[in-house]
Amino acid sequence: MRLGNPRVARSVRSLVTVSLVGGLVSVAAAPAALAQEQDEKVTLRVALTQEIDHLNPFMAILQSSTGIGRVAFDYLTRYSAKDQEPIEGLATDWKTSDDNLTWTFQIRDNAKWSDGEKLTAEDIAYTYNLIMEDETAATANGSFVSSFEEVTAPNDTTLVIKTRTPQATMLALDIPIVPEHVWSKLDKVDDPKMDQPPIVSSGPFTITEFRPKEFVRLEANKDYWDGAPEIDGLDFVFYDNADGAVSALQNGEVDLVNRLTPAQYETLEGEDNIAVNKAQGRRFNELLMNPGAATKDGEPIGDGHPALRDVRVRQAIAKAIDPQALAERVMSGYAEPGSSVIPPVFEDYYWEPTEDQRWKFDPAQANRELDAAGYERGPDGIRQMPNGTPLEFRLLGHKGRAFDEQSASFIVEWLKKIGIKVTQEIVQDDQVNEMSSAGEFDLMFSGWGVNPDPDYILGLHRCSARPNAAGHGGTTDSFFCDQEYDRLYARQLAEQDETKRQEIVKQMQERLYEQAPMVVLDYDNALEAYRSDKFADFNVQPQPTGVIMEQNGNWGYYQAKPGDGGAEGGMPTGAWIAIGAVAIVAVAGGGIALRKRGKSVDDRE
């Protein structure tokens, strides 16, 4: 375990800075302002343009929800802000048996639940066991426990996990830990009560209020084991569109905004009191092609187009799409063209197709291949399956997401060229979710944030990641199911040698690329902006090119620091001058007015 805790050093330094600057400011100009700042609660207000699917950590899949989960809940280990290596979380130390099948974690004894109860190894064991035993509880994070045999807590500070096969991801278990004393009283895991505060958790913030489509409010956990956050509260405020969020940022109604469009980013870049952050993203956008949705047991569900079950059709579509053009035109260059499901930011696992393998943008070739595969063009120019079903696909996308809305017209035009008709269905987030998990789509825009450990993103394409008949029990990306791929997945999970594991992970990406249940369109740069007059620079992950929001952790929020009274921004000085000027004008104007009135009164009398 390597943990040269950089946080301590930093917070000491910042303490010095704050007191120094504070001293300067109080001497210089505005003692009143500083006092006010100390009295008032500092709340970081974050704009969200994505909806919340669940606050229940077993069900939450959307980025917005899991991002809130990361500040509210604790995990066994965390990813460091610096380079995303596993560091201590609830576990302070760990060791493995010689056969790599038994992991023993030392659990800290200073963690507490927000209702005052003590957090013990028993709670962690309960959480993992729940996911192993209850199919519904496995909805969001089931992949992490797939090879667990037994999880026990011999005492309050020891957790023992036995796995059936060696598992490479034991320090990357992205499972929010829940309190046993609350959850054991529930009848079912997807109890709607667990989507509403009070939600008992142990993270640096506690969810206190939730109004769907309005806001989620969190309060700082002053007893947090890693030290209380420097801010008092964290509000996630919903905005229907990014422009609304941006003007709220400009007006100072929110402090932090992400998922900016290039136009917004370029505008905010030049504004006073607003700082921007362009990060190499860990997200990708993709176009899913329903390869025949089915449940875990192979029972077909949904209404995907039968032609997409043919890998030749999917490959032809991949050749008719130009990721380079999307990166340049839709993202204005704030993105890299996509190829595989692991973004280049994770260079150890990133796989790039060779020139021979790559689906080159070549509509003519795609047309030839579709001709050869027996999809003749009908009289209207639209291709047909041998049985006469025309190749007319629906394209599902998220309303209000500029990437989806914009790329949709590109996809429509490109596929038109190869004789495929596409109609756009741009609908609300929750509707997209519902339809995608029910397999009711042909083509669909999706995207994932990728963890430093590739297990989760790779696990999304396994046969067993598909949901059960009730739509629970798994999170699949594309309903992809391939024996070869699953075999490789099991091998990488068991592989303890890092270099060998990377090799298998790359083979998996190759297999996925070739089978083409999706086309990875681009890796977005994350474009973010915040109020630099109210908050100090945020702790990004990874440093120095990383993101503030949508981290593999909560460093951005947890270590948010109120600005130094804006002393460096020059804002108070300007404001004081402005106030002074206004006051002078007001006094002068008032004086003149008074004199005038006096005169008129005089005159009248």
> Which residues of the shown chain bind other proteins in the complex (CB under 8 A)?
241-243, 246-247, 250, 260-264, 266-268, 322, 325, 329-330, 332, 399-402, 405-406, 408-410, 412-414, 423-427
Closer CB to other proteins, residue 46 or residue 111?
46
Q: Which is nearer to other proteins, 314 or 401 (CB)?
A: 401
How far is the C-alpha of 28 from the C-alpha of 235, rounded, in Å? Answer: 32
CA distance 125 to 118: 14
Supply the minimum distance, in Å, between the C-beta of residue 241 and other proteins. 5
Phi, psi angles (nearest 5°) of residue 91: -85, 135
CA distances from 123 to 75, 153, 280, 420, 540 (A): 11, 9, 36, 53, 30
Q: Are 489 and 454 in contact (CB under 8 A)?
A: no
Taking the complex as a whole, the smallest distance from the CB of residue 424 to other proteins amounts, in Å, to: 4
Classify residue 297 by burial, with Cβ atoms within 10 Å: 0-12, 13-18, 19+.
exposed
Task: Report the nearest approach of other proteins to the CB of residue 579 (Å).
Answer: 28
518-531 and 256-257 strand pairing: antiparallel
Residue with Cβ nearer other proteins (90 or 422): 422
Q: Give least dist CB 545 to other proteins, A.
A: 23
Strand pairing category for 205-211 and 274-280: unpaired
Full DSSP string of 260-285: --HHHHHHHHT-TTEEEEEEE-SEEE
Least separation in angstroms between CB 330 and other proteins: 8
Which residue number, 257 or 373, has a Cβ lying nearer to other proteins? 257
CB of 430 to other proteins, least distance (A): 12
What Rg value do the Cα atoms of the chain yield, rounded?
27
Smallest separation, CB 416 to other proteins (Å): 9
Q: Closest CB to other proteins among 260 and 450?
A: 260
Q: What angle do CA 430, 436, 439 make, to 5 degrees?
A: 145
Count of C-beta atoms within a 10 Å radius of residue 413: 11
Looking at the Cβ atoms of 408 and 458, the one nearer to other proteins is 408
Q: Which residue has the tokens 């320090």?
A: 171
Report the residue number, 425 or 453, with the smaller CB distance to other proteins. 425
Whether the Cβ atoms of residue 368 and residue 359 lie closer than 8 Å to each other: no
289 SS3 class:
strand
Closest approach of other proteins to the CB of residue 399, in Å? 5
Phi and psi at 566, nearest 5°, equal 75, 15
Nearer to other proteins, 93 or 271 (CB): 271
**What value, to the nearest 5°, has the Cα angle with vertex 316 and ends 314 and 321?**
95
Q: Which two tokens stand for residue 554?
A: 């909560």
Question: In the complex, what is the shortest distance from the CB of residue 461 to other proteins, in angstroms, rounded to a whole number?
Answer: 29
Q: At its nearest, how many Å lie between other proteins and the CB of residue 422?
A: 9
Side chain identity at residue 18, one-letter code: V
- Give CA separation, 37 vs 34, 204, 534, in Å: 5, 22, 10
Minimum CB distance to other proteins, residue 263 (Å): 4
Does the bond joining 542 to the residue before it have cis omega, within 30 degrees of 0?
A: yes
Both structure tokens of 197: 């505060």
Looking at the Cβ atoms of 22 and 262, the one nearer to other proteins is 262
**499-515 burial, b if ≥16 CB within 10 A, otherwise e?**
eebbebbbbbbbbbbeb
* Nearest-approach distance from CB 36 to other proteins, in angstroms: 31
Q: Which is nearer to other proteins, 246 or 460 (CB)?
A: 246
> Shortest approach of other proteins to residue 324 CB, angstroms?
12
Nearer to other proteins by Cβ, of 296 and 305: the residue is 305
Q: Which is nearer to other proteins, 246 or 458 (CB)?
A: 246
Q: How far is CA 219 from the centre of its chain?
A: 21
Q: Is the dihedral of CA 33, 37, 39, 43 positive or negative?
A: positive
Decide: helix, strand or coil at residue 390.
strand
313 φ/ψ angles, rounded to the nearest 5 degrees: -65, -45
Cβ nearer to other proteins, comparing 14 with 250: 250
Helices (H) and strands (E) in the chain, counts: 17, 18
